[in-house]
Amino acid sequence: MTEFIQHLVNGLGLGSMYALIALGYTMVFGILQLINFAHSDVYMLGAFFGYYVSKFFNLSLHPGYGSLSAALLCSMVGCAIVGFFIERFAYRPLRKSPRINVLITAVGVSLFLEFGGQLLFGADPKYFAPLLEPGEPIFIGGVQLNRIQLIVLGVSLALMLGLQFIIFKTKIGRAMRAVSFSHTNAALMGIPVDFVISFTFMLGSALAGAAGILVALTYPKIDPLMGMMFGLKAFVAAVVGGIGNVTGAVIGALIMGVAESMVIGYLASTYRDALAFAILIIILLFRPAGILGKNVKEKV
């Protein structure tokens, strides 16, 4: 039983990192019906922003909450800016183009960032020196937790609550929901639709940036292709939860994280990647719109 709870806790940590990325996928889909394939590479850039900021300011020489917060903030801001530019220059000119053109562009932007990253950062993995010492593990009824796990859970939770607050309690959040319901009707309310779309990209990208730092804190080896598998799983999580639905993305991601952690614990870690696709196939077979997704009729 203790072992099970241990895997559960590990899985929730992993799942909350997936969630931070899945939220960006789902928000952009909600507002533009676009699968932003480049999103997983924004997450990768988040890790690299943190890496270079940390290197430049020698943050790892003074590990602690200050250093971590600084890296987190820089990375979130950096990714928000990248997200802004991706939308502005890759997707916006295609706003009225057929869906397939935009999809191909999204794949193109993703490849551009992945191979641009290899060119710029080098293809070899880099060691992101920890910004926080793991500290003495804490035991709660036999379940072991270290400081990094607690930070990952705490920061993700805080960010998700913050996002929930923005979406449901602020004016810009109300505008985001209006735009994702209908661009034209939102414009008739006086809502600057393009601004709201930019804001949504920036918000989602900032969360991906935070995920980049948290993942690097947990698995310090980073490389320009690190977004491929991790981001893909986050995308699957968004689909499982019901793409377009913010709460669904979190639920889907936690399910993914916990399932993966169980597979690692009880089966073999070699199955961990296959699992994501197994879950995806099951969901697509039995609940194609996802757990919280509405069964929308295909538009004609």
Residues that bind other proteins (CB under 8 A): 171, 174-175, 177-178, 181-182, 184-185, 187-193
Minimum distance from CB of 192 to other proteins (Å)?
A: 5
Q: Which residue number, 132 or 194, has a Cβ lying nearer to other proteins?
A: 194
Q: How far apart are alpha carbons 91 and 33 in whole angstroms?
A: 12
Q: For other proteins, which is the closer residue by CB, 85 or 181?
A: 181
Q: At its nearest, how many Å lie between other proteins and the CB of residue 215?
A: 33
Q: Which residue number, 188 or 285, has a Cβ lying nearer to other proteins? A: 188
**Chain position carrying tokens 């191909």:** 104
Could you give the residue ranges of the DSSP H alpha helices within the chain?
A: 2-32, 39-56, 65-85, 99-121, 147-169, 171-181, 183-188, 193-218, 226-241, 246-266, 272-286
Question: Cα separation of 237 and 253, whole Å?
Answer: 5
Least CB distance to other proteins at residue 162 (A) = 20
User: Is residue 147 within 8 Å of 8, Cβ to Cβ?
Assistant: no
Cβ neighbours of residue 274 closer than 8 Å, sequence gap 6 or more: none
Report d(CA 41, CA 227) in Å as an integer: 5
CB closer to other proteins out of 123 and 189:
189
Q: Which of 144, 185 has the CB closer to other proteins?
A: 185
Nearest distance, CB of residue 186 and other proteins, angstroms: 8
Q: How far is the CB of 195 from other proteins (least distance, A)?
A: 9
